[in-house]
Structure formats: C-alpha cells, structure tokens
Amino acid sequence: MCAGGMGRPINELISLRGRRALITGAASGMGRAMALRFAEAGASLYLVDINETGLSEVASEVRSRFGVDVNTFRVDLSKKKEIDDLWNSIKGREPDILVNNAGVYEFVDFLEVDEEVLERSLSVNLKSVFYMCQSMIRSRGDKGGVIINIGSIESILPFARNLVHYDISKMGIIALTRALAKEYGPRGFRINVIIAGGINTPGVQRLKQEAILKLRIDVIRTGIEYFMRVPLKRLGDPDEVARVALFLASDMASYVHGAAIPVDGGFLSA
C-alpha cells in the first residue's frame, strides 16, 4: 500500500473512527454541523463554546444519534488563560483533529472602531486560533495531526460595510494557516483553511430579522447585492461547510495541505 492510500476502500478513507476531534464554536451553526458530521464518521468529540446551553443541546443530539463519546467545555476564547486551562485539562488525551471555527463579527463603522471592539475581534477571531494551533502542535509533537481553520470570503474580497476589523482578523487566519503548513508539514501535520461564504447560520438569520424589523437599509442592500453576485443565488447551509471539513479531516484529503478552500457558492470567482 502506498502512502497515498491506494487500494483502501472509500468508507475507510472517510472514516474518523478511533480519532478525537476538538471543535470550537460548536454550540450552533457550522460548529454544530461539523460535530454531527464528524460524529457520524465515528470521531469522539471535544466541543468548545462559551454558550453552555447550546453545547449541552448539541452534545445530547450527537450522543442520541451516533453514540460517540462527547465532552463539552465552556471556554471564553478571548482569554488565553482559559485556552491554557482547556489544554491542561485534556493533557494526555489530546485531539487528533482541531477545528478552529469560533468567531465573532459586529458591524461597526471603521472610524468608530475603538480599542475594545478591535481587541474583541482580534482576540476571538485570530489570537485564539493562534494559541489553539500552538497548543495543538505542542501537545501532539511528532505524532502530527490535522488542523482546519475557518476563514471568510470577507478577508479576500471585502464586501459588507463596517467590517474592516473583522476582515483583518480573518485574513490573519489565512497567513497563519499557510505559515504553519510550511513549517509543520514535515512533522506530520496537515493544516488547511476553509474560506466560508454567506452561510445561513443562526447569527445570519438573526441579522436578517433585525434588518427587516428595524429597516436597516444598509444591511438589506448588502444582502441584495450579495445575491446578485453569488452564482448559486443562495446562502450556503452549515452542513455544506461541515462536509468539506469532514473531507479535510479524513484520509480522503491525505495530500491536501496549506490550501485555502472556498465554500462560497462561487462568490470569489464571480
């Protein structure tokens, strides 16, 4: 059998049985979808979020549907100490797969972005990813592993107004992914980033409702312009991102490394 897995059956290549995945932002949206898909593929899970209620609901759903081992951790990813405490609590039982999915975005005019807004965006969207990757690589050593980071089309083609602080945080994730891929590929790590487009998460649904109820014309206009541009003429479903994450986590993607993969309905190519 060659290193690429020639001859292995497809169900074996896609399987995550015997592996453990840590997913941040797992209480809803894309994180929840990834938890369900990874569990379906047989992985045991560490689910991380600041939303304890959502975490509990996702964990219960995963257990009832797939019967895999699930542990939940309430972590404020903007605080490095809580990240350190998380990794200390799982020392010796580190994950084989890390998915850095958690993120925050708030619409603030560039001229009104203060230190608090900028720090909150950078802390959750970029610094936490840096520290999570650092802890993963340190804990795994030469055993290697898989890291999947979640980026955004906004970092490559800024589209929505009032997201400059968000855009720079997400562009940093791409640079981090590529730098780590070059440095740690020889030690057995595969590291990639998914560039997510407009995905119909609970956060996006709340934004749409707020835009209609409060007549936020700027948000409504951005939504219309987005649908005019994206070739598939719709938002993506969280599971459509989760399926790509599952591919990247599995041996199906054994030679995919340092890649930035758009899951955006064609937005960036239009």
Alpha helices for the chain (secondary structure H): 10-14, 29-40, 52-66, 80-89, 115-122, 128-140, 153-156, 164-184, 202-213, 217-229, 238-249
What is the Cα–Cα distance from 49 to 33, expressed in whole angstroms?
Answer: 14
Closest to 231 in 3D by CA, of 198, 191, 190, 193: 198
User: One of 46, 105, 131, 166 is an active-site residue; which one?
Assistant: 166
Closest to 104 in 3D by CA, of 35, 192, 165: 165
| Structure letter (DSSP) for residue 235 | P
Beta bridge partners of 200: none
Reply yes or no on whether 166 is catalytic.
Answer: yes
Q: What φ, ψ does residue 23 adopt, rounded to 5°?
A: -120, 125
Q: Which residues are catalytic?
A: 166
